[in-house]
Structure 1
Amino acid sequence: MHQVTLGDGLRVSAIGFGGMALSRVYGGIAPEEALATLHAAVDAGLTFIDTADVYGERPEGATGPAGTNEELVGRLLRDRREEVQLATKFGILDAAAGQTRGDAEYVRSACEASLRRLKIDTIDLYYMHRRELSRPIEETVAAMADLVSEGKVRHLGLSEVTADELRAAQAVHPIAAVQSEWSLWSRDVERQVVPTAAELGVGFVPYSPLGRGFLTGTLTREDVAGSMREGQERFTGEAFEANQQVVDVARGVADDLGATPAQVALAWLLAKGVEFGLGVAPIPGTRSSDRVVENAAAADLRLTPEQVARLDAAADLVVGGRNLHAGRPEWVSAGRE
């Protein structure tokens, strides 16, 4: 697979792999099966692997980041470290409660804990997962920059930041990537964040590029039940059926190309990167090795301007807002712009 250049000279596979999908948020998976999926991703060229300290399940009564997803990825890295561009994150203490932390002491301790779980010496891309809103972002990024100076981290990233926050962070230390939700049905970042990233030479890593599975055209109501999608506006009631219109647009383009809706949705993001003039590397997650191969093939799919325009128009068909985590608009960048 070809590589793309994000910011600060970081080169990664054009399509990465989102490790959160292997931590039961979309259903159970055995550890050995999860590890096999990670190996399949690297075999297919998806060498940009994304995890976070908060992904996974905490033991009953425990507090703070679970770390089990990092431990899983660490098993992959034991044999394939030189093949992988590894990204992980810190900053979320409890997503359901909206609890975050970004002081220097915590930044350091979180990084060192991640390194221990991953069993590596250096993290390729270290993200601030969410801001501690009462603390200046410059303070947190300065603490992250110290980790670069010490060789614990190679590049810095930020998740769900506004354009102004990105500018403030970039003034402290070069930022390699912003990670935020971006897909055919979640395009709010195009208003301010994406253009600012392009202006500053920062790359973009779209999470949930397949709309938490909806844009694959294979999701059922049974898949939604009991997963993190349950209760989110776009997956409930009449919205679930209405949003099939978005999938129908992607499927129409896919039929023209002999591709799948998922491949078209990923190829659209790569095309938008060209349009906006910045490096883009979406990170779809899956529990299936077959889906890994399908997603990888999207890197070679080329859309015509007319097809991109058709897909752009699908945003007008979306019913319901994107996930705001327990109704907290400030949890995502659009809620603070």
Structure 2
Amino acid sequence: MHTATLGPLGDVSRLTLGGGGIGQIWGETSRDEAIATLHAAVEAGITVIDSAPMYGACEDNMGLAFEGRPPQHLKFTTKCAIGSPEAAKIGPGLTASLDASLKAMRLERVDLFFLHSNIHADDFVYAHGNDRRDQMGTAWSLYVNEVIPAFERLKAQGKIDAWGITGIGVPSDVLRAIGHTPRPDAVQAIANLMDSAGALRRYAEPERAREIAATAKAAGCGIMGIRAVQAGALTLAVDRELRPNSPDNADYARAAPFRELCARWGQDPAYVAHRYALTMPNIDTLVLGVKNRAELAMCVAAEADGPYSAGEMAEIDGLGLACPPKHLR
């Protein structure tokens, strides 16, 4: 498998195994299949495993798979969605979340620890779900004065090697965080042909996924691409039940021309979506949401087949799916 430099972490595989699938949040799978998928990923050359306590059984499955003795070359990440509690609770909350993740994964340290909350200005008002702002978002003043110092303390203690942010929140504030000093060592950025965060988008301003990735890359951050198939919208069929009015359902309907293109090419949409994301600039490693070995094998094949040509990328981009729906313009 090809490699790329993920910021200060050095060389990593172009594919990262994400914890969502093996934690059973992207459709049903068994514990045995999840563990087998973890081992198959390592055998395929994947060197990064991305986890989070909110990914169901993910971290427990990782602990069972490697029994506290993972191959030395593997790198691990985890996350905490701390929200906006009282300032004094931020540091202890991050530490407690990390300690619980380490215990579940049977590890002594992780390579990357992500703030998984949306970063937003202190007075920001979300277009959707603002009543849950303090649960889903971390206010800027807390990020600067509490989160960053807590991350730096964890680095000094040797519990983490680096820290990052999940760049799915308010784009202007994600960009602000990238420009702030200390800056994150890594950023998880949307990387799909629709430039869509789907149901994760709760703000009204335009999505700026590619700008976020480019700006973070220029700042020296490592870039982990996420949501290559946009929560199933870029697959043949969504494999979990969604609300009729879900933005992910809307994206699936909007992606009908993409599935027609894939049919003409004789290729599975999930394969094309992953290969497209791997061809995008600025993406160091692409996080997979696979839940079994068959889905993993398709993604490994997409990476092995290399980047799409400029002509193929233009044909996909020519579908116009990266433009936001009219009601969001």
User: Which range, TM-score by smaller chain?
Assistant: 0.7 to 0.9
Q: Which of 297, 310, 331 lines up with 2:301 in the alignment?
A: 297
Aligned to 1:77: 66
Alignment match of 2:94 (pick from 89, 99, 107) = 107
Q: How does 1:221-240 map to 2 (within 5 A)?
A: 223-225=239-241, 231-235=245-249, 240=252
Residue equivalent to 2:130: none
Q: In 2 relative to 1, CA 157–209 (structure 1 residues): closer, same or farther, beyond 3 Å?
A: same
SS of aligned partner of 2:288: coil
The structural deviation recorded for 1:153 is: 0.4
144-153 vs 158-167, greater mean Cα deviation: 158-167
Q: Deviations over 1:244-284 (max 9, x none)?
A: 112233454x54xxx543232222222222xxxx3421112
Residue identity matched to 2:79: K
Using the TM superposition, give the Cα deviation of residue 47 of structure 1 relative to its aligned residue in structure 2, in angstroms: 2.5
Letter in 2 for 1:77: F
The letter for the 2-side match of 1:133 is A
Whether the 8 Å contact between 1:89 and 1:127 is mirrored in structure 2 is yes
Structure 1 counterpart of 2:286, which letter? P
CA distance in 1 between partners of 2:110 and 2:179 (Å): 19
The alpha-carbon deviation at position 147 of structure 1 amounts to 0.9
Match of 2:193 among 174, 179, 184: 184
Report the residue type matching 2:285 in the other structure: A
| 1:274-310: CA deviation from partner (whole Å, max 9, x where unpaired) | xxxx342111212220111110122222211111122
TM-score (norm 1): 0.76
Of 90, 113, 119, which aligns to 2:106? 119
Say if 2:24 and 2:291, in contact at 8 Å, map to a contact too.
no
Q: Does 1:306 align with 2:314?
A: no
Three-state SS of the structure 2 residue aligned to 1:155 is strand
* 1:146 paired to 2:149: no
Superposed displacement of residue 174, structure 1: 4.8
Matched residue pairs, number?
Answer: 294
One-letter amino acid matched to 1:177: A
| Unpaired runs of at least 5, structure 1 | 57-67, 322-328
Amino acid aligned to 1:243: A
| Equivalent-residue separation in structure 1 for 2:9 and 2:47 (angstroms) | 16
In 1, are the aligned partners of 2:102 and 2:109 still within 8 Å (CA)?
yes
Q: CA deviation at 1:159?
A: 0.4
Match of 2:279 among 260, 265, 271: 271
TM-score in terms of structure 2 length: 0.77
Partner of residue 142, structure 2: 136
- What amino acid is the match of 1:193? I
Contact 2:75 2:111 in 1 (8 A): yes
Indicate conservation of the 8 Å contact 1:182/1:209, yes or no: yes
Give the one of 196, 199, 217 matched to 1:198: 217
SS at the partner of 1:302? coil
Q: Secondary structure at the match of 1:219?
A: coil
Aligned equivalents of 2:112 and 2:322: distance in 1? 35
Q: Is the 8 A contact 1:126 1:153 kept in 2?
A: yes
Mapped contact 1:21–1:287 kept (Cα < 8 A): yes
Q: 1:171 to 1:296 in 2, by over 3 A?
A: same
| AA at the equivalent of 1:7 | G
Distance across 1 between alignment mates of 2:3 and 2:247: 35
8 Å contact from structure 2 (residues 225, 285) kept in 1:
yes
Q: What is the CA distance between 1:11 and its match in structure 2?
A: 2.6
Whichever residue aligns with residue 77 of structure 2, its letter is A
Distance 1:250 1:197, change over 3 A: farther
Determine the structure 1 residue equivalent to 2:132.
none
Q: Distance in 1 between matches of 2:261 and 2:73?
A: 36
Structure 2 counterpart of 1:90, from 80, 86, 105: 80
Q: Deviations over 1:170-228 (max 9, x none)?
A: 64435232113320122533453123112202122122111223323x215xx342x5x
Unpaired segments ≥5 residues, structure 2: 120-137, 197-206
